[in-house]
Amino acid sequence: MKIGPKYKIARRLGNAVFEKTQGPKFALNEQKKQKNKRFSRPRSIFGQQLIEKQKVRFTYLLTEKQFAKYIKEIISSKVKNQSEALYQRLETRADSIVLRSGFLKSRPFAKQAVSHGHFTLNGKKIDVPSIRIKKGDKLTVRESSKGKGLFADIENNIKENNQPAWIKINAKDLTIELIGEPIYIKTESHFDLQQVLEFYKR
């Protein structure tokens, strides 16, 4: 997926979209710019929904086609809590699991590691970042990949990371096991999935 200028996108969507724009320097610059704005035009409902959609797309580095496919699946499934179902679909992608584990510090690196075949799923090599990981599944760094530069800081990364309760890390074997389901908590997220769903239902 072609991203474009990250700082420009983050100024429009919020600094939480990309790892590199989450530093204090960027946040401080944005605060100063907001104070300097004398007039602000309120967004329409459609405009706000569009912003929320773009936040999710860029957070998970998804193309419009990929994301629309997920939305269509969720809406057609008739599940009761569609926001949570969408969140779980996004968070149980292989690249998302690798990122949450702390093995790698950014989504582009996590996506790259999976697509280059550095992980196995339940013992079988995978190279598709979007593959869905289910409860009980195990992602493991391949033995031949453990010495790669991509994983040079993996021990420190794991120590510094606070992984969610729904994944279990085996630092010795470099294995990630999905032991639960991600829970969508709107107040702890930087995007509103209900607004995203409403955008696609228009």
What is the share, in percent, of the chain residues with pLDDT greater than 90?
Answer: 74
The full set of domain ranges for the chain reads 6-81+187-201, 93-178
CB 108 within 8 A of CB 61: yes
Mean local confidence (pLDDT), 44-54: 94
pLDDT in tens, 9-35: 666 666 566 565 565 555 555 455 554
> H or E stretch including 139?
strand 138-141
Exposure letters 41-59 (e unless 16+ CB within 10 A, then b): eeeeeeeebebbbbbbbbb
The per-residue pLDDT for 131 is 97
Q: What is the C-alpha radius of gyration for the chain, rounded to an integer number of angstroms?
A: 18
Region 6-81+187-201: CATH code: 1.10.1050
pLDDT given at position 73: 95
Task: Please tell me the pTM assigned to this model.
Answer: 0.82
What mean pLDDT, rounded, does the chain reach?
Answer: 87
pLDDT digit string (tens) for 63-79? Answer: 999 999 999 999 999 89
Q: Confidence class of residue 39 from pLDDT cuts 50, 70 and 90?
A: very low
Regarding the domain delimited by 93-178, which CATH topology (the fold level of the hierarchy) does it fall under?
A: 3.10.290
Structure tokens at 73: 């699946």
